[in-house]
Structure 1
Amino acid sequence: MADRQRKPLRTIARPFVADGPSGVSIRDRLKGLSADDEKVLRTIGEHMGRLASADLARRCRDGLEHSTDTWAARKRELTAESSSRWAGSVTSNMHDQWGLSRRAQWQHLVSLDAGIRTMRHRLSLPVGEKGSRGAPGGYRSKLEWFVKTRRLAILESAYERVRAEREAGRVSVVRGGRRLLKQRHNLAAANRTPEQWRSEWEAARWFLTADGESCKRFGNETIRVSPDGDVSIKLPAPLAELANAKNGRYVLAAKVSFPHRGDEWRDRIEANRAVAYRIHYNAASGRWYLDASWTRKDLPVIPLDALRAGGVVGVDTNADHLAAWRLDQHGNPMGAPRRFDYDLSGSATHRDAQLRHALTRLLHWSKQTGAQAIAIEDLDFTDSKTREKHGRKKRFRQLISGIPTGKLRARLLSMCAEAGIGVIAVDPAYTSMWGAEHWQKPLTTPQRPASRHEVASVAIGRRALGHRIRRRTAPPRQHQSDAGGHRTAQARPGDRGREGNRPLVPGSRTRSVRAGRGTNAVDQNAQDRSVRSAEHVQLLLRL
């Protein structure tokens, strides 16, 4: 049987400098709220939440027929029941929510298409046929083949339904979150009582968000926070009787200080630059919070060559740890590798804290090494987590799903921007395979073996620096002379010491005198040879 042709290597994308975060968001707790303050906040949230739900429903009905005229009509209707600024915040946020659902719908369509194509390929193969390199094989039994035909019909039906909805501009949106909505049908598994679920559901559907405005006092007219921490809210028109200050405003008894990035926030509001605010309630803990956010447009753009000059730290992302290794500008590993563990089990808050802690240790170590950039893979497992592609490899699918690709990259970009470290994204193709092939054996010592993840970080770092992953170029093809052409490993013109003597390698070279031990070990003209060097001939002619 003839050997199958090897799958051709795909094109490797060029490394690039990842863009930093486009905005900043900080949070502080509203402490010391009175009973009247909480009552007013609940009333405003319920009133604006009802208007936001109605506006989102209308935006979904407009679908692809949405235009500036329909947007203006929606805003005019909301202005009569709130204010022009409240109406602007509601319409912009609901439009963003519709766009987010539209993008999620497209990703779902792509996932269905990938599953259908994989299943059609496997069903076309004979039962029991093994897969080739990079392609899955046939199903194991006739029963499994029959079950997959039924599942293929289900996926095709779902694909046609989602495609028809997308072409018509219809999306599925749940104000308050689909996860919380589904918990209503199984409160015992969610460990919640009906009263607890109802309080969380209502709080999630409140709307207390105000967009920032430049050249306005303290950057926001609807929810205004002074440099001293006083919080005042412009009440909607139907709730004007609740005001406790002039001009229809309500001043809260609580004050905020924003311990994190408070100085930057204070500089913005004192300059009357736009700052958006959001007040939300955590029903589980019974606490109120205030979020402040703004866009950043003054981030410096560092060229790729400048980041490479000081070397990089290659980072390999895994399901339970980050493997990192420091490389100099020539692509050589320096020092020992580092491992930063995290545990992504438990609640979302715990997972986020574990990720931040691991990245904090990574950034501190990177700054100690003097590296100016961190190299990381540009990972996206959207098409690789389906059971249609990996079949019964449930543990492998769970492993891929456990790797925090999107969250880690977003968190790393924001933290590196504050630490002054650049992020270089590279193509993840073949990094683990080629790293193990070319670097695992040379970097393994009797005291410490190099793991596959550690050598993958070396491959990532070399790709970010613009070097090939393999250790060295090919040796001379015939012998130690240049009979087969110039040697492939030559010093570059700008390298220091390239015209000097070769280093003396210890060890026996002859039977009488060891290498580097002779009287004229470095002087080639003192040896017994028929041809003198060109420098020696020129010296004799001068004499």
Structure 2
Amino acid sequence: MGEVREVAAPFVMPGPSGGAVRDRLRHLSAGDEEVLRLVGDLLGTLAARDLRVRCAAGLEHDGERWAERKRTLTQDSSSRWAGAITKATHDQWALARRGQLAHIQSLQAGVRTIAHRLSLPVGEKGSKHAPGGYRTRQEWFAKSRRLHLLSDRLRAARADREVGVVHVVRGGKRLLNTRHHLKAAQLTEPQWRQRWQAERRFLQADGESGKRFGNETIRVTPGGEVSIKLPAPLAHLANAPHGRYVLAATVRFAHRGEQWRDRVTAHRAVAYRIHEDTVRGRWYLTASWTIPPVKSVPLDAARANGLIGVDTNADHLAAWRLDEHGNPVGEPLRFGYDLTGTAGHRDAQVRHALIRLLHWAKRNDLSIAVEDLDFAADKTREKHGRRKRFRKLISGMPVSKLRARLVGMAAELGITVVAVDPAYTSKWGAQHWQKPLTGKNRKPTRHDAAAVAIGRRALGHPIRMGAPPRPLRHWGRTAPPPHDQSDRAGHRTVQAGTGTPGREGNRPRIPGPRTRSVRAGRGANAVDQNAQHRSERSAEHESWQQESLRSVTRNGSLFL
């Protein structure tokens, strides 16, 4: 039997570190679109050149080289545009480094799994915690070749990481590879070229606190007027003083518009990004800002009124409400979503499921408990072998996106989110809660039971103990209905706490349908153990006298 790993303690998830809103630039003139494309293409060329310099520097890059890059870009644009480009380049290089590390970890997991399975005899069965040998000699031979392939890839990736080499494509590697599969993507070469140029443009500026409306480069007034500080080579296109170009379109942020307006009115930093959607033929402006870290709600306060345990699945969220003692309350609920189709459709499905869950929690003033899931180590195809359907199921679960959206949306409604260790929640929930919670009119699933396990772990209660008590059986009869038990709605199998006054006293006699025939004084010595004829009690050793036997002989039988 395998050892049970140590379970991490639950914690309150911190709130979002920033916010972002987006609106469409409506009623742009042809001249406005032309200016935006010219500015974006120029700055995109400078960004590609700066990224090449940053990648060539590798791990030897320092503050002096950063300043040199910025001085070089300032000559062809402006100081603020150069600052925005160099910061975006640095962020892109850092993101590539994190992706490189994740790729190395995935290769290491694949190499370990294949090496372990190759060391086992062909056909040997695996256990629940470790895979077995390969099924056939042909599969063993194919995997031995794949082991050499992955080992070479791992060696090359490690060598690149040691010297600081990263592989970055401005515009996206996926879109670049689409150029070789235009027919499968249902695109023509001009359509692909238009999309490629739009992705490589650079039209974003970081905010500055204390400056007018929070941004000097891309400025948006509280009324929605958008103006851009043109780079030096395009200053002749300005239609406003100080080398600025004012767009004919205005923006109006319907979502979080008050927050954005409060920031720009107070001249607090707001970053902007302008991009073109070539499929729809529209231009959009995105505003973003950082939120200072706030002190999270204590864990005890989040547990005060109970909470809602949520189990994340491939097509739905299974939720069950629990009180502060860890007892399931009411009926389980499901919030389904469909993860097929486009990315926009999937994102809308996730948001719709989360908002229904959050509204339910808001109505009952409850916190939400979720699993701190991470399938990074489980998505390698070497771990699950031929189970392609299961691998696809795990890869399709939007764990990180769902968690990020849940935290952000919960913060807007003032709902606390508690994260718990996902170890054994599904297994122990089905083992200890699914059957006790099953009734005549309720058939909880394994996912519903897992939601109860998640909620109990978030409340600090053990999962494998504290299952609902079974009905008390007395002389073949089950416990009476709730309102026919002692203390009215109480249950006679519930024990009082050690600090409850009178817990050892006699049970009060309450007139009712089950006590009307009990005479007065009945049970007066119920709590006096010495008065009971039980083993190891003094009553057993009191003096007593056996009554005389009365025997009657009838047909040779003896009757007492």
Instruction: Specify if TM > 0.5.
Output: yes
Pick closer, same or farther for the CA change 1:204–1:30 going to 2, 3 Å: same
Query: Retained in 1: the 8 A contact 2:506–2:526?
Result: no
C-alpha displacement at 1:504, in angstroms? 9.2
1:313 to 295, 308, 311: 308
Any stretches of 5+ residues in structure 2 without a counterpart? 470-493, 533-560
Instruction: Answer whether contact 1:212 1:219 (CA < 8 A) is retained.
Output: yes
Output the CA distance in 2 between the equivalents of 1:528 and 1:296: 65
Structure 1 residues 493 and 167, CA gap change in structure 2 (3 angstroms):
same
Q: Specify whether residues 380 and 54 from structure 1 end up closer, same or farther in structure 2 by C-alpha distance, changes over 3 A only.
A: same
- Quickly say closer, same or farther: Cα 1:140–1:255, change in 2 above 3 A: same
Q: Which residue of 1 aligns with 2:2?
A: 7
The aligned residue for residue 408 of structure 2 is 414
Work out whether residues 501 and 522 of structure 1, in 8 Å CA contact, stay in contact via their aligned partners in 2: no
Q: For 1:268, which of 263, 268, 274 is the aligned residue? A: 263
What is the CA–CA distance in structure 2 between the aligned matches of 1:123 and 1:426, rounded to whole Å? Answer: 36
| 2:184 aligned with 1:197 | no
The residue number in structure 2 matching 1:32 is 27
Q: What SS does the aligned partner of 2:210 have? A: coil
In structure 1, which of residues 279, 284, 289 is the aligned counterpart of residue 279 of structure 2?
A: 284
Equivalent residues of 2:506, 2:523 under 8 A apart: no
Q: How many residues align?
A: 509
Question: Equivalent of 1:171, from 166, 169, 173?
Answer: 166
Q: Which moved more, 1:343-352 or 1:394-403?
A: 394-403
Does the residue aligned with 2:335 lie in a helix, a strand or coil? strand
Quote the sequence identity (%). Answer: 63
- Structure 2 distance, partners of 1:304, 1:378, is 16
Are the structure 2 counterparts of residues 500 and 341 from structure 1 closer, same or farther at C-alpha, using a change threshold of 3 Å? farther
Query: 1:538 maps to what in 2?
Result: none
Counterpart amino acid of residue 382 in structure 1: A
1:217 is aligned, of 212, 221, 228, to 212
1:66 aligned residue (61, 65, 70): 61
Q: Does 1:401 pair with 2:402?
A: no
CA displacement, residues 207-245 of structure 1 (integer Å, 9 cap, x when unaligned): 000000000000000001111111111111111100000
Q: Contact 2:238 / 2:244 at 8 angstroms: preserved in 1?
A: yes
Which residues of 2 match residues 78-477 of structure 1 at below 5 A? 78-297=73-292, 299-371=294-366, 373-472=367-466
Instruction: Give me the TM-score of the superposition, normalised by structure 2.
Output: 0.87
Change (3 A) 1:238 1:466: same
Question: Contact (CA 8 Å) 1:504, 1:516: kept in 2 or not?
Answer: no
Relative distance call for 1:13 and 1:528 in structure 2 (3 A) is closer
Query: Between Structure 1 and Structure 2, whose CA radius of gyration is higher?
Result: 2
Residue 523 of structure 1 and its aligned partner are, at CA, apart by: 3.9
The CA deviation string for residues 457-479 of structure 1, in whole angstroms up to 9 with x for no partner, is 0000000000001242899xxxx
Deviation, 1:430, is: 0.3
Secondary structure, aligned partner of 1:340: strand
Secondary structure class of the residue paired with 2:75 = helix
Q: Is the 8 A contact 2:171 2:200 kept in 1?
A: yes
Report Cα offsets for 1:8-41 as digits up to 9, x if no partner: 0111000011111101010010001111111110
Change (3 A) 1:354 1:521: farther
Gaps of 5+ in 1: 1-5, 476-488, 506-512, 533-543
> In structure 2, do the counterparts of structure 1 residues 528 and 226 end up closer, same or farther at CA, with 3 Å as the change threshold?
closer
Contact map agreement 1:7 1:133 (CA 8 A) in 2: no
Name the SS for the 2:167 alignment partner.
Answer: coil
Q: Show the counterpart of 2:531.
A: 531
Q: Distance in 2 between matches of 1:198 and 1:496?
A: 81
Shift of residue 320 of structure 1? 0.4
Aligned equivalents of 2:293, 2:134: Cα separation in 1? 55
1-structure distance, mates of 2:228, 2:213: 13
Distance 2:509 2:248 in 1: 79
Note if contact 2:505-2:527 (Cα within 8 Å) is conserved in structure 1: no
Letter in 2 for 1:62: A
Question: Could you give the per-residue CA deviations for residues 54-89 of structure 1, whole angstroms, max 9, x where no partner exists?
Answer: 101111111101100110000000000000000000
After TM superposition, give the deviation of residue 299 of structure 1 in Å. Answer: 3.5
Q: Deviations over 1:184-207 (max 9, x none)?
A: 000111111111111110000000
Shift of residue 522, structure 1, vs aligned partner: 6.9
Note closer, same or farther for the CA distance 1:204–1:502 as it changes in structure 2 (3 Å cut): farther
Q: Which moved more, 1:466-475 or 1:520-529?
A: 520-529
Q: Distance in 2 between matches of 1:49 and 1:202?
A: 9
**Matched-pair contact (CA < 8 Å) for 2:12–2:416:** yes
Q: RMSD of the TM alignment (CA)?
A: 2.4
Q: 1:468 to 1:527 in 2, by over 3 A?
A: closer
Change beyond 3 A, Cα 1:112–1:521: farther
| 8 A contact 1:83–1:236 mirrored in 2 | yes
Shift of 1:104: 0.4
Of stretches 132-141 and 348-357 in structure 1, the one that deviates more from structure 2 is 132-141
The answer on whether the counterparts of 1:203 and 1:281 sit within 8 Å (CA) in structure 2 is yes
Which has the larger displacement, 291-300 or 229-238? 291-300
> Take 2:529 and 2:3, find their aligned partners in 1: how far apart are those partners?
51
Q: 1:368: Cα distance to partner? A: 2.0
Please tell me the residue identity of whatever aligns with 1:453: H
Please name the residue that 1:23 is paired with: 18
Amino acid in the other structure paired with 1:60: C
**Are 1:26 and 1:258, in contact at CA under 8 Å, matched by a contact in 2?**
yes
Measure the CA separation in 2 of the matches of 1:175 and 1:267. 35
Amino acid at match of 2:300: D
Letter matched to residue 419 of structure 2: A
User: Which moved further from structure 2: 202-211 or 400-409?
Assistant: 400-409
Partners of 1:432 and 1:456 lie apart in 2 by 5
**What is the TM-score with the length of structure 1 in the denominator?**
0.90
Contact 2:17 2:293 in 1 (8 A): no
Distance 2:504 2:320 in 1: 33
Q: Shift in Å at residue 329 of structure 1?
A: 0.8
Using a 3 Å threshold, how does the CA distance of structure 1 residues 279 and 503 change in structure 2: closer, same or farther? Answer: farther
Tell me: CA distance 1:121–1:301, structure 2 relative to 1, closer, same or farther (3 Å).
Answer: same
Q: Distance in 2 between matches of 1:136 and 1:503?
A: 62
Distance change >3 Å, CA 461–CA 474, structure 1 → 2: closer
8 Å contact from structure 2 (residues 320, 332) kept in 1: yes
Counterpart check, 1:518 vs 2:518:
yes
Deviations 1:107-134 (A, max 9, x none): 0000000111111111111111111231
- Asked if the contact 2:316–2:334 (Cα under 8 Å) also holds between the matched residues in 1, the reply is yes
Superposed displacement of residue 311, structure 1: 0.9
SS of residue in 2 equivalent to 1:247: coil
Does the Cα contact within 8 Å between 1:520 and 1:526 map onto a contact in 2? no
Indicate conservation of the 8 Å contact 2:309/2:319, yes or no: yes
User: Is the CA contact (8 Å cut-off) linking 1:18 and 1:425 kept in structure 2?
Assistant: yes
Q: Could you tell me how far apart the structure 2 residues matched to 1:334 and 1:474 are? A: 12
Counterparts of 2:445 and 2:377, CA distance in 1: 27
